[in-house]
Structure formats: structure tokens, C-alpha cells
Amino acid sequence: MQIFSLRFSGDGTEIVAGHNRNAVLVYDLESRKTIVEITGHDDEVNAVCYGDKSSPHVLYSGSDDSTIKVWDRRSLGDGRAAGCFLGHTEGLSTTPLNSTGSPHSHLHRRDICGQQRRRPLRP
């Protein structure tokens, strides 16, 4: 397995990771185990992040399947994303968050590591 992106949770107890097997993993640092695996993309997951630094429930993932998906860990029973941004023409390597960790009303490409603003996302 190749990990393409990872982020620590706001409280430092978990890591979320995207990898080449089209899934998102949540890893618990204390137990050293994967506690959640989300398999909702059709291609490699290149970018992941937590939606809010104070809550590990909401996750974002960007994939080579040209989608950004929003996951709410409290409602993963049916395996569906809580939301999905469609219409991108190329694979995604960043997720659309501003420096506070909340979604923009106008989506912009973000560097997942440095949260640097990039060119606007084109639907």
C-alpha cells in the first residue's frame, strides 16, 4: 500500500490517510490500529483532511476519480459519503479548506500540507 496523504487529528490521537487502494483510513495512534476504512472512491485517494480541528467526525478526501467527498464518521453505516463535489475534469491532489478548517463558499485548491491557496477549482 502507498500512502499519498495524511493528516493528524486536532487532538493528535488519530491520523487520517489516503492511499492507492482507493480508500481512506483512520488510524488510532494509541492502539496502533486502523479503526475506520472508507472505500468510497473509484481511484487513488491523493488528499485527505479533517473538516474541523476540534472534531474528528468529518473528513474530506480528494481522488483521481475527480471527486472530493465529505465523510461523516457518525453515519457511515451505509458506506455512502455525506457529500460529494462532482464535475472536476482531472484527479484531485488537494482538498478545499481554508486556514480555519471550514469549507469555502467558493472552492479553491488547497495544498493539504501547508494550507496554501492555489488556483480556483473548475467544475
pLDDT digits (tens, 9 = 90+) for 17-72: 998 898 999 999 999 999 999 998 888 888 898 887 776 788 988 888 878 888 89
φ, ψ of residue 75 in degrees (nearest 5):
-135, 45
Identify the domain containing residue 52 by its residue range: 3-120
Query: Grid coordinates representing 38?
Result: 472508507
* CATH number for position 66: 2.130.10.10
What are the phi and psi torsion angles at 72 (to 5°)? -110, 110
For residue 25, the model assigns a pLDDT of 93
State the pLDDT at residue 37. 93
Q: How many degrees, rounded to 5, is the angle at CA 119 between CA 86 and CA 84? A: 15
Structurally, the chain folds into a number of domains equal to: 1
What is the identity of the amino acid at 108? Answer: H
